[in-house]
Amino acid sequence: MAKVSCPKCGSKRMKLHVPQTSIWKCEKCGYQGPVFIEDGNIEKQLKESKKMEKLQKKMLRGR
C-alpha cells in the first residue's frame, strides 16, 4: 500500500473516498480531495490508473 498523508493536517488516517477518481478523505480534519502519494513513482501510478479506467469501461460495455 502507498503511504498517503493529508496535505492539510499531515494525518496518515486517509481513506480512499472515490476509488475511480483517487479522491481521498482525511478522517482527522475532514479534508476531501486529491492527495500526493509518497511513492516516488507518479508516472507509473498514472499509467496504472489509466489501465484500470479502460478495464472498467470494458467491463461496463460487456454487459
Q: In the complex, what is the shortest distance from the CB of residue 26 to Zn ion, in angstroms, rounded to a whole number? A: 3
* Grid coordinates given for 43: 508516472
**Structural contact between residues 26 and 9, judged by C-beta atoms closer than 8 angstroms:** yes
How near is the Cβ of 25 to Zn ion at its closest, in Å?
Answer: 9
Nearer to Zn ion, 4 or 6 (CB): 6
- Please say which residue, 21 or 32, places its beta carbon nearer to Zn ion: 32
Query: Would you tell me which residues interact with Zn ion (CB under 5 A)?
Result: 6, 8-9, 11, 26, 28-29, 31
Tell me how far CA of residue 9 lies from CA of 2, 36, 39, 45, 56, in angstroms.
18, 13, 19, 24, 33
